[in-house]
């Protein structure tokens, strides 16, 4: 199949760039030094490829991702790096033989884990991003509480999400160090073997974490592309020009095929004016029928709009991978 | 089923508000004065309800929406209010008995329609929004070209998308008048019975159009909610609080369950700080396990993230409608 046979908009990833990104990361963070975050691609076929590159443990953001990974035979070491108010479905995964570790940051989430039969947790510690995670000073109390409920506390996690996107590398390095000072202090009181943290923007700036949760590195987007990382832009949304005049043209990607929270996507050698539901207005104009590659600003919410990832080699579509971890 | 049994995040619509919105619009624009735009809900069950309220013709933004509407028995008068570089699949719909009208704005799109066997078009005229649509002065030439290819030209369309969201009603009224001056001038040269235009923000400000393409009025969002229209907020994303402290809390809706191009969603009596892939950070905090209704800023790209629309009556889930017009 040729890429020109794809119905547009179509999610595409250049296979050689994807493999190069996986090789680069596996060289920097081999084996269990990386726990790839599947939320960035939501695709078990891509996760299988990451496993081939040596990473057997994975990070998930939703229970549905955990279930899909286990169903795909990738359940030997799954971390749900997120809190859940009801862990019932995770208990079922444990019963079915998956190795499940769950982030907890409160009495409620520990209770949910215990009642559901989840037997391994990490204490999620707030390291500066105002989101999930307990106050570092509360980590030891929560670990004790979990152990009293018969749960094994394997360590801590803390996501420096306020740091990973800073464009200045020195600022990122300083931010990671400050965040990890909080996390390692909490870890010294909690115990356990795991200190889980990090993302694509800080993967090589974090010697304190025992494992890094990066995900975006595989496919990439314009936001991470601005950081000068050694990962190429594998992902694009293939689009067709449907309207054109002397001043601008319009292609058929838009708000329903692109995550927009990081702003407009990019089209090489063109300027994006704005996006509508099924349109991007841009200049300079191109003739109707021209196919263009649109580069998303944010990979995760872009992938979540699509049902298929088309892996390409130039003009050829090599494989069509289901985006099979969507929904909740 | 009770709404508290739904896995969150879950797309919900209060049935009484939805029906009230449909009734209000059907009263203002009865029968074929409204051509509901299905891109706002992507749900054939909701389209069936709109048909029960008297609207038999529908507007679509994608070929997949056209196909799903025809497959659902709603193909008696379908307008694809968008250009396509390749109309082959529309030709197949025509062959299968659907009544298909296609927007065209160039020689290329007319040629695509003719070659595919599409027999009815509207000349799409640019009325001020820099997107699709020909220059008004070019409409007559394109209509002649279409007729020479054996295509019936049923009239014109022109979407005043730069006007529909203006919060000042007088500005909207003046903007519509200016846009429709361009469209009616083009129509006088093109001919045909149809002048198709408008949206939820201008539905009662446009006596020039023979039909209005509104879609958002059925479910609504915070952007249209700011316009003082007589449509209630039917749509929400039900979410569960998963983390909480003295300063903020976090619920499990986020960038993958909410269209973000219009900015952050709203939570009544709370302030949204920011959204992450599967999180909203907000204050004042609520306890873990609390269920909250998140109101999207933009209905269309929000719905497109979900597979099911749960129609509710207070605490009860009355129906679960598939969002069956996703993809392309």
Residue-range domain boundaries for chain B: 3-11+231-322, 16-218
* Neighboring chain A residues of B257 at a CB cutoff of 8 Å: 328
CA-angle at B131, arms to B196 and B30, nearest 5°: 20
Supply A285's token pair: 């104009």
Task: For B185-204, write each residue's pLDDT tens digit.
Answer: 999 999 999 999 999 999 99
Whole-number CA gyration radius for chain B: 21
Q: Alpha carbon of A299 to those of A29, A239, A263, B280: distances in Å?
A: 21, 16, 12, 18
The pLDDT of residue A308 is 98
Dihedral of CA atoms B128, B134, B135, B138 in degrees, nearest 10, equals: -150
Q: Is the CB of B260 less than 8 angstroms away from the CB of A261?
A: yes
The number of residues making up chain A comes to 328
**DSSP label of A37:** B
Quote the crossing angle between the two packed helices A63-71 and A88-95, to the nearest 10°.
20
Contact B199, A314 (CB under 8 A): no
The pLDDT of residue B239 is 98
The pLDDT of residue B319 is 98
Supply B154's token pair: 């049923």
The pLDDT of residue A131 is 98
The Cβ of residue A316 has, within 10 Å, a number of other Cβ atoms equal to 11
The pLDDT of residue A132 is 98
Question: DSSP string spanning B98-157?
Answer: --EEEEE-SHHHHHHHHHHT--EEEEEB-SSSSSS-B-GGGHHHHHHHHHHTT-EEEEEE
Which numeric CATH code is attached to A16-219?
3.20.20.10
CA proximity to B282, closest of B296, B264, B297, B256: B264
The pLDDT of residue B178 is 98
| Mean pLDDT of chain B, nearest integer | 98
> Helix, strand or coil for residue B202?
helix
Give me the mean pLDDT over the B284-297 stretch: 98
Task: For B121-133, write each residue's pLDDT tens digit.
Answer: 999 999 999 999 9
Q: How far is B209 from chain A (nearest CA, A)?
A: 22
Give me the mean pLDDT over the B150-170 stretch: 96
Instruction: Say how many CB pairs under 8 Å bridge A and B.
Output: 145
CA proximity to B207, closest of B225, B184, B224, B226: B184
The pLDDT of residue B322 is 98
Do A3-11+231-322 and A16-219 come out as alike in CATH topology?
Answer: no
Phi, psi of A253 (to 5 degrees): -85, 165
Mutation for testing the B interface, residue in A256, A285, A291, A327 having most B CBs under 10 Å: A256
Give me the mean pLDDT over the B26-51 stretch: 98
pLDDT grade for B292, boundaries at 50, 70 and 90: very high
Contact B84, B104 (CB under 8 A): no
Give me the mean pLDDT over the B260-271 stretch: 98
Contact B120, B90 (CB under 8 A): no
A residues 146-205 near B, CB within 8 Å? 161
Q: Is the CB of A82 less than 8 angstroms away from the CB of B278?
A: yes
Rounded Cα–Cα distance for residues A222 and A215 (Å): 15
A263: left (phi over 0), alpha (psi -120 to 50) or beta: left
Full-model pTM: 0.97
pLDDT grade for B149, boundaries at 50, 70 and 90: very high
Q: A327 in contact with B at a CB cutoff of 8 Å?
A: yes
Q: Is the CB of B106 less than 8 angstroms away from the CB of A244?
A: yes
B residues 249-288 near A, CB within 8 Å? 250, 252, 255-257, 259-261, 273, 275-279, 281, 287-288
> Helix, strand or coil for residue B150?
coil
Contact B90, B83 (CB under 8 A): no
The pLDDT of residue B155 is 98
Q: Which fold has domain B16-218?
A: TIM Barrel (3.20.20)
Per residue of chain A (328 residues), give pLDDT as tens. Answer: 999 999 999 999 999 999 999 999 999 999 999 999 999 999 999 999 999 999 999 999 999 999 999 999 999 999 999 999 999 999 999 999 999 999 999 999 999 999 999 999 999 999 999 999 999 999 999 999 999 999 999 999 999 999 999 999 999 999 999 999 999 999 999 999 999 999 999 999 999 999 999 999 999 999 999 999 999 999 999 999 999 999 999 999 999 999 999 999 999 999 999 999 999 999 999 999 999 999 999 999 999 999 999 999 999 999 999 999 999 9
pLDDT grade for B184, boundaries at 50, 70 and 90: very high
Task: For B81-138, write each residue's pLDDT tens digit.
Answer: 999 999 999 999 999 999 999 999 999 999 999 999 999 999 999 999 999 999 999 9
Contact B259, B301 (CB under 8 A): yes
CA-angle at A188, arms to A186 and A192, nearest 5°: 100
The pLDDT of residue B275 is 98
3-state SS string over A52-93? HCCCCCEEECCHHHHHHHHHCCCCCCEEECCCCCCCHHHHHH
Task: For A249-263, write each residue's pLDDT tens digit.
Answer: 999 999 999 999 999
Pick A3-11+231-322's CATH classification: 2.60.40.1580, 3.30.360.10, 2.40.37.20, 3.40.50.300: 2.40.37.20
Nearest to B277 among A39, A84, A243 (CB): A39
Nearest to B275 among A62, A261, A281 (CB): A261
The Cβ of residue A285 has, within 10 Å, a number of other Cβ atoms equal to 18
């Amino acid at each position: 199949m040729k890429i020109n046979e794809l119905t547009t908009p179509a999610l595409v990833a250049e296979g050689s760039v994807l493999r190069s990104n996986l090789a680069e990361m596996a060289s920097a963070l081999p084996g269990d030094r990386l726990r790839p975050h599947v939320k960035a691609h939501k695709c078990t076929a891509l996760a299988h490829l990451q496993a081939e590159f040596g990473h057997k443990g994975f990070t998930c953001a939703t229970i549905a991702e955990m279930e899909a990974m286990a169903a795909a035979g990738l359940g030997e070491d799954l971390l749900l790096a997120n809190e859940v108010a009801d862990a019932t479905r995770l208990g079922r995964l444990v019963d079915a033989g998956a190795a499940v570790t769950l982030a907890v940051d409160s009495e409620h989430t520990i209770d949910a884990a215990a009642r559901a039969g989840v037997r391994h947790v990490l204490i999620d510690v707030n390291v500066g991003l105002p989101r999930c995670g307990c106050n570092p000073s509360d980590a030891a109390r929560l670990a004790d509480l979990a152990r009293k409920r018969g749960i094994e506390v394997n360590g801590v996690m803390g996501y420096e999400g306020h740091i990973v996107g800073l464009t200045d590398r020195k600022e990122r390095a300083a931010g990671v160090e400050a965040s990890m000072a909080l996390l390692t202090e909490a870890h010294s009181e909690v115990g356990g073997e795991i200190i889980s943290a990090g993302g694509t923007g800080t993967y090589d700036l974090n010697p304190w974490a025992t494992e890094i949760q990066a995900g975006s590195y595989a496919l990439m987007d314009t936001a991470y592309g601005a950081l000068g990382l050694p990962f190429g832009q594998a992902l694009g949304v293939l689009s067709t020009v449907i309207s054109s005049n002397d001043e601008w043209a319009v292609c058929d990607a838009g708000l329903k095929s692109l995550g927009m929270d990081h702003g407009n996507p990019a089209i090489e050698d063109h300027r994006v004016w704005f996006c509508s539901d099924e349109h991007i207005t841009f200049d300079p104009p191109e003739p109707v029928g021209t196919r263009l590659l649109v580069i998303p600003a944010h990979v995760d919410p872009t992938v979540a709009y699509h049902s298929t990832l088309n892996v390409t080699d130039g003009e050829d579509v090599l494989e069509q991978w289901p985006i099979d971890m969507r929904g909740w």
